[in-house]
Amino acid sequence: MKGEISIIGAGLSGCEAALQLAERGYQVKLYEMRPNRQTEAHQTGLLAELVCSNSLKSTRLDTASGLLKAEMHILGSILLPIAQDCNVPAGHALAVDRSLFATRITAEIEANPQIQLIRQELTCLPEGKVIVATGPLSSKAMMHHLVSLLGEDHLFFFDAIAPIIDADSIDLDKVYAKARYDKGEPDYLNCAFEKEEYYQFVDALLEGEKHEAHEFEDAFFNGESFKFYENCIPIEELARRGKDTLRHGVMRPMGLEVPATGKKAYAVLQLRAENTDRTAYNLVGCQTMLRYPEQARIFKLIPGLEHADFLRYGSIHRNTYLNSPLILNENLSLKARDDVWIAGQLSGVEGYMECIATGLLIAGIINGEIDSLPEVTILGQMWRRLITLQPKQSFSPVNANFGILPALVDPPRDKKLKRNMLCARSIQAMSSAFSEALDAEPELQESERNSPAPAETTL
Q: What per-residue confidence (pLDDT) applies to 44?
A: 80
Which of 136-150, 224-238, 412-426 bottoms out in mean pLDDT, i.e. has the lowest? 224-238
Considering the domain architecture, whether residues 250 and 352 belong to the same structural domain is answered as no
pLDDT exceeds cutoff 60 at 177: yes
Considering the domain architecture, whether residues 130 and 11 belong to the same structural domain is answered as yes
Considering the domain architecture, whether residues 192 and 71 belong to the same structural domain is answered as no
Name the domain boundary from 318, 348, 370: 318
Considering the domain architecture, whether residues 283 and 341 belong to the same structural domain is answered as no
Residue 89 near residue 185, CB atoms below 8 Å: yes
d(CA 334, CA 129): 11
Name the domain boundary from 257, 283, 318: 318
DSSP 103: H
pTM of the model: 0.75
Residue 19 near residue 131, CB atoms below 8 Å: no
| Cα–Cα nearest to 250, from 284, 301, 220 | 284
The dihedral through the CA atoms of 134, 139, 142, 147 has a sign that is positive
* Residue 382 or residue 276, greater confidence: 382
Residue 41 near residue 164, CB atoms below 8 Å: no
Query: What is the percent of the chain where pLDDT is above 70?
Result: 86
Tell me how many helices (H) and strands (E) the chain has. 12, 16
Whether 100 is in a domain gets the answer: yes
Considering the domain architecture, whether residues 164 and 91 belong to the same structural domain is answered as no
Considering the domain architecture, whether residues 171 and 206 belong to the same structural domain is answered as yes
Give the structural domain span for 327. 3-154+322-437
Considering the domain architecture, whether residues 185 and 229 belong to the same structural domain is answered as yes
Whether 301 is in a domain gets the answer: yes
Number of domains in the chain: 2
Whether 455 is in a domain gets the answer: no
Q: CB-based contacts of 403: which residues, under 8 Å, 6+ apart?
A: none
Whether 349 is in a domain gets the answer: yes
Whether 299 is in a domain gets the answer: yes
Considering the domain architecture, whether residues 282 and 340 belong to the same structural domain is answered as no
pLDDT in tens, 319-333: 778 889 989 999 999
Considering the domain architecture, whether residues 313 and 326 belong to the same structural domain is answered as no
Name the domain boundary from 257, 292, 318: 318
Whether 9 is in a domain gets the answer: yes
Whether 235 is in a domain gets the answer: yes
Considering the domain architecture, whether residues 343 and 226 belong to the same structural domain is answered as no
Mean pLDDT of 449-453: 31
Mean pLDDT of 69-74: 96
What CATH number does the domain containing 297 carry?
2.40.30.260
Whether 450 is in a domain gets the answer: no
pLDDT exceeds cutoff 80 at 180: yes
Strand partners, 398: 349
What CATH number does the domain containing 365 carry?
3.50.50.60
Mean pLDDT of 109-125: 96
Considering the domain architecture, whether residues 131 and 180 belong to the same structural domain is answered as no
Considering the domain architecture, whether residues 211 and 277 belong to the same structural domain is answered as yes
3-state secondary structure of 214: helix
